[in-house]
Amino acid sequence: MSDYCVGIDIGGTTVKCGLFKLNGELLEKWEVPTRKVDAGKFILSDVASELKNRMEAHGLTNQNLRGIGLGVPGPVEPDGHVSVCVNLGWKDVWPAKEMTELMGGDVVCKVGNDANVAALGEMWVGGGRGHSSIVAVTLGTGVGGGIIVDGKIVAGAHGLGGEIGHMHVRDDETEYCNCGGRGCVEQAASATGIVNEAKRVLASSDEPSAMREYGDELSCRIVCDCAKAGDKLALRSLETSMEYLGRGLALVAYVVDPEVFVIGGGVSRAGAYLINLLKVYFNQHTPLSNNRPDIVLATLGNDAGIYGAARLVLD
Amino acid sequence: MSDYCVGIDIGGTTVKCGLFKLNGELLEKWEVPTRKVDAGKFILSDVASELKNRMEAHGLTNQNLRGIGLGVPGPVEPDGHVSVCVNLGWKDVWPAKEMTELMGGDVVCKVGNDANVAALGEMWVGGGRGHSSIVAVTLGTGVGGGIIVDGKIVAGAHGLGGEIGHMHVRDDETEYCNCGGRGCVEQAASATGIVNEAKRVLASSDEPSAMREYGDELSCRIVCDCAKAGDKLALRSLETSMEYLGRGLALVAYVVDPEVFVIGGGVSRAGAYLINLLKVYFNQHTPLSNNRPDIVLATLGNDAGIYGAARLVLD
């Protein structure tokens, strides 16, 4: 009886692993350090070895597993090939095939990009539960996206799919983004972008603001907290950031029109306050219809990757 | 042997119909006037009645048909229901179910939105042939889009999917779009938008231009022809239109990243010249990767709808 599945989210520092029932119930999770030496060739064997221990402790064999899903922090080709994964030191790796071999040859393994896989997790048992078409947006140091249509990841044909952090939304941006563009969603609405915008607003005004006392220590969390507390400049800058994010989501809605946007990442800890602000601008930029995708908070946090990786093998 | 399929593209003036072999070969096409009186209740029966005649002439019965596909000029719900179709006068219609009944009950019928269906046609045997993920862009009076991922239409959850003509790309637009927004792709790059931009350029300059002699008769075709002939102001205005279209396609690429964009509609008659201009701006706005979707011309013209409607029933 294959009543279990395993989700493995490979990060640059640690590999997160989870053992699940097929209904999405997490039985146990653990972490394995990411050994990047020698072009990362030990990463998967370390994971497999610890997984076998955990399975043994639960009295499980390969026959009990529906499969093992892997999330990789970089582009994954449609056939499962990873040409290069800078964060892991990988070159020319077939993670799913290798994992199957490491587990003895009789376990189905699948692989996907980590951002896409996390989106799948949020769809399965997170903020997007009950939906089959979602766009997951991760607001962290950068802005990442994962597009799910009819329950399937839309990875795209050239590794550009879901790169919504690099959609151009702001003409008056003067700095360049890492991507080489200017005026990307990421520059306005990532944690970094929110702090940069707040600093600009502070520099361009003499008005008092609680943000001033933090100087270079100003963080996205402080900007959001100050805005919530009614600080005028904090609110003004956060409104600007959310306006550009709202524009970006409107653009996404005019392409794939998901049932729901699921917003996660560190910035989303500002919670319903942030979502409500974002909705104002999203609605303004989707005048075509009053029937629109909803915007909700992600609920799985850093575990979205293991959930989604496990979900990969249920199709 | 169900070796044939039928594609029906219902327009506001005429209904285009085609009888196909399953490999996409068009055997015969014909048109039926769209009788919009009495809330359009005769439209489908007119089509069915003529279809029966044509089938008889070919010696075909329902058993020879894989199915009949219908393209409708308005939003189609995922279950095939059409709440309202202004262009046909329809309210609360189930076109596929009705067509099945009109044909005697033993023919599979499917229905889709006409822009999406046309995209499917271009994928099947048109500019997108050989690909399974394409975005079809129709540059006509307006700008329409059809998104196909892994061979399936992405219709979206609220009727916004593929509405790429209404993506906001231009901050300095002063006029409003029909959608209620301002700065939409459609305002810059539809036939109307191209003419409007040319008129603005003419009004803002004293430079000579062959476009001036046409006055109010200036058309998109004339703008394109003048640009091709080296007219400076025509080129300047067309570059602006293609820059905003290029931006829009870049935004789409960062969401679904199709294998190829297929450009059709009246404006696309300007041919390779237009596509090459568009590619310059598309490339500028996708700095993330040198591996990008290609941009090609549509090849089916007004027949894309019948091809795509027929293709609907082959899944």
Which uninterrupted H or E stretch holds B304? helix B304-312
Give chain A positions within 8 Å (CB) of B292. 158, 160
Please compute the mean of the pLDDT values over residues B246-272 and round it to a whole number: 97
Interface contact A166-B258, CB threshold 8 A: no
Among B76, B148, B158, most A C-beta atoms within 10 A, so best to mutate, is B158
Which residue is it, tokens 């005048």?
A287
Interface contact A133-B285, CB threshold 8 A: no
Q: Sheet holding A26-33: strands in order across?
A: A26-33, A14-21, A4-10, A65-72, A109-113
CA–CA gap between residue B260 and residue B128 (Å, rounded): 7
pLDDT reported for residue A181: 94
Q: What is the mean pLDDT of each run of 10 residues along chain A (315 residues)?
A: 94 96 97 96 98 97 97 89 91 97 97 94 97 96 94 91 95 94 96 97 97 96 98 98 98 98 96 98 93 97 96 93
pLDDT reported for residue A86: 87
Q: Encode pLDDT of B97-155 as tens digits.
A: 999 999 999 999 999 999 999 999 999 999 999 999 999 999 998 999 999 999 999 99
Interface contact B147-A256, CB threshold 8 A: yes
Give chain A positions within 8 Å (CB) of B185. none
Interface contact A154-B149, CB threshold 8 A: yes
Cβ pairs A/B, distance under 8 A: 141
For A156, A218, B108, B136, the CA distances from B258, given in Å and listed in that order, are 6, 40, 30, 10
Interface contact A156-B257, CB threshold 8 A: yes
Q: Sheet holding B65-72: strands in order across?
A: B26-33, B14-21, B4-10, B65-72, B109-113
Does the pTM surpass 0.90? The reply is yes
User: Which residues does A contribute to its contact with B (CB < 8 Å)?
Assistant: 133, 145, 147, 149-150, 152, 154-164, 166-168, 171, 179-181, 247, 250-259, 285-289, 291-293
pLDDT reported for residue B236: 98
Give chain A positions within 8 Å (CB) of B147. 255-256
CA–CA gap between residue B98 and residue B41 (Å, rounded): 10
Residue of A nearest to B75 (CA): A289
Q: Encode pLDDT of A18-45 as tens digits.
A: 999 999 999 999 999 999 999 999 999 9
How far away is chain B from the Cα of A104, in angstroms, using its nearest Cα? Answer: 32
What are the residues whose beta carbons fall under 8 Å from the beta carbon of A177, sequence distance 6 or more?
Answer: A166, A183, A184, A186, A187
Which uninterrupted H or E stretch holds B253? helix B232-253
For residue B6, give the 3-state DSSP assignment: strand
Among B169, B249, B255, most A C-beta atoms within 10 A, so best to mutate, is B255
Give chain A positions within 8 Å (CB) of B154. 149, 255-257
**Beta-ladder partners of B6:** B19, B68
Give chain B positions within 8 Å (CB) of A128. none
Q: Encode pLDDT of B191-241 as tens digits.
A: 999 999 999 999 999 999 999 999 999 999 999 999 999 999 999 999 999
CA–CA gap between residue B128 and residue B300 (Å, rounded): 10
Contact A120, A312 (CB under 8 A): yes
Percent above pLDDT 90 for chain B:
93
Which residue is it, tokens 């719900």?
B77
Pick left, alpha or beta for residue B181 (phi over 0 → left; psi -120 to 50 → alpha; otherwise beta).
beta
Among A171, A247, A288, most B C-beta atoms within 10 A, so best to mutate, is A288
Which residue is it, tokens 């025509």?
B234
Residue of B nearest to A171 (CA): B171
CA–CA gap between residue A164 and residue A244 (Å, rounded): 12
Give chain B positions within 8 Å (CB) of A176. none
Nearest to B256 by CA among A165, A155, A215, A314: A155
Provide the token pair at A185: 């969603």
pLDDT at B1 over 80: no
Interface contact A256-B159, CB threshold 8 A: no
Interface contact A254-B163, CB threshold 8 A: yes
Give the one of B168, B254, B257 whose C-beta lies nearest to A247's C-beta: B168
pLDDT reported for residue A315: 83
> Please, which pLDDT band fits residue B24 given cuts at 50, 70 and 90?
very high
Interface contact B158-A292, CB threshold 8 A: yes
Give chain B positions within 8 Å (CB) of A149. 149, 154
How far away is chain B from the Cα of A158, in angstroms, using its nearest Cα? Answer: 6
How far away is chain A from the Cα of B64, in angstroms, using its nearest Cα? Answer: 32
pLDDT reported for residue A77: 86
Interface contact A166-B254, CB threshold 8 A: yes
Give the one of A150, A157, A181 whose C-beta lies nearest to B259's C-beta: A157
Complex ipTM, two decimals?
0.92
User: Which residues does B contribute to its contact with A (CB < 8 Å)?
Assistant: 133, 145, 147, 149-150, 152, 154-164, 166-168, 171, 179-181, 247, 250-259, 285-289, 291-293
